[in-house]
Amino acid sequence: MTRAVDPNAVASQVRQPGARVTVNGIVVPWTEWTVTNVSHFSADTFAVTLAVKTLPAGVDPAWWATTDAATVEIAAGFADESGEISALTSLIVGRVDEVELCPLERTLRLTGRDLSSRLIDAKTAEKFQNQTASQVVQTLAARRGLTADVVATTTRVGRYYEIDHARITTEQTEWALLSWLAQEEQYDLWVGGTTLYFHPSLDPAVTAPRPYLWVEPGDQGPGIATLDRPRLKRSLTIAKDIVVKVHSWNQAKESGYTIQTKMPRASSVSSDGEAQTYVFTRPNLEWDRAVAYAQQMAAEISRHEYVIEAEGPADLILSPRQLIKTTGFGGWDGVYTVDQVERGFSVPGGFRMSWRAKNHPTRAMVAL
């Protein structure tokens, strides 16, 4: 069986993973868990199953029947050469949304989201018009007990409300507000542990992707992590020419216009000749911002043409928003952006993970 190899992975010949689950800082015995990390302005999630009869005092079923809040942390690590697991990597810190007690199986199942849930569950009518997007992130992070890790922006939020009038009277969740600002700034937004991150999206022109090689069995060297079942998908619909039209107008000048941009198909193989056309309406865009928006949407649509999904033994390196570069898949090779990583640990299955990545657009834009 051929295998996908990550040449950056460092692993011992015998993997000795370990994990710790805590509830409100109390270590609890677990039977299995999963953590799903995502990149599309959504909360990371977790599910953990606990053995009822071994739960310590303070987090037993009676306590869960009356509590209205609990924080879970799941961390994992690998033993070093001495066989000791001296350090664990936190995979998620989140609050429990639902508790399920199964008396017959004598288990307690907890499911929940990361601490972006504090922002997702809080609504605001504030507009922060005189602050920049990065300042709004810092303001709301402090309000919800989170540390802010931001790369500063310069445009005041009021400028975006001039463009999107519909939002000026809209009450929304704090997370929806920050997600909108992140998209306007072409930033990524996520929560890791107790920190709210607001950073520019990674650019393969300035960020070295993590390489993956496709090799034949027997060529695989010792101590290299493998992916057991990679699957490569391609949308032939998106493989066609992509045309994006952006309609906008200027209320003050009482005039409108339409911007068009084209992303030619990546393959020279003939198609049915029809382009896929997408139309967006955005009021009060300056000409250059309309052009930038059209190019942004064309690139975003193109990301869904090639998708890689894979699973195998878990590592603690891969994460959403990370760039990877594949070699050895022929026409499927390229730079991809990881958009989901799921790790799971159970007694029968061991420490495993699956992930998905979408291609990073490389087609040239053509103004129409």
Interatomic CA distance for residues 73 and 81, integer angstroms: 26
Average pLDDT on 184-202 reads 94
Least confidently predicted of 294-298, 314-318, 337-341: 294-298
Per the listing, tokens 């072409």 go with 186
Per the listing, tokens 């890689």 go with 308
Q: Which of 104, 34, 46, 40 is nearest to 71 (CA)?
A: 46
Model confidence over 127-179: pLDDT tens digits? 899 999 999 999 999 999 999 999 999 999 988 877 665 565 578 999 999 99
The amino acid present at 1, given as its one-letter code, is: M
Distances (CA, A) of 99 to 46, 91, 106: 12, 20, 13
Interatomic CA distance for residues 180 and 290, integer angstroms: 17
Average pLDDT on 112-125 reads 96
**Residue 289 DSSP label:** H
Interatomic CA distance for residues 263 and 95, integer angstroms: 43
CA angle 245, 249, 251 (to 5 degrees): 165
When pLDDT is cut at 50, 70 and 90, the band that residue 343 belongs to is very high
> Which tokens belong to 208?
């070295």
CB-based contact 354:342 (threshold 8 Å): yes
Average pLDDT on 273-296 reads 78
- pLDDT of 89 reads 95
